[in-house]
Amino acid sequence: MVDSALARIREGSFGECVSCGKEINAKRLEAVPWTRHCIECQEKAEKGLLEAAQ
């Protein structure tokens, strides 16, 4: 998880949802800095509504 976050920092995509491309809320990143999804996409993933969570 942390390695993935570090890779996204290097790529310049840290803080961007890997599913929809929207910016991930700063408070969410503070709470879960390794997150790859915005809260909306994370909720969809947890309900099985998100196509193959990346």
State yes or no: pLDDT of 53 exceeds 50. Answer: no
Q: H/E/C letters for each residue in 8-54?
A: HHHHCCCCECCCCCCECCHHHHHHCCCCCCCHHHHHHHHCCCCCCCC
pTM of the full structure: 0.78
Ordered by where they begin, the domains of the chain are: 2-46 (1.20.120.910)
Q: What is the pLDDT of residue 52?
A: 59
> Tens digit of pLDDT for each residue in 2-45?
898 889 989 999 999 999 999 999 999 999 999 999 999 999 99
Q: Is 29 exposed, middle or buried (0-12, 13-18, 19+ CB in 10 A)?
A: middle
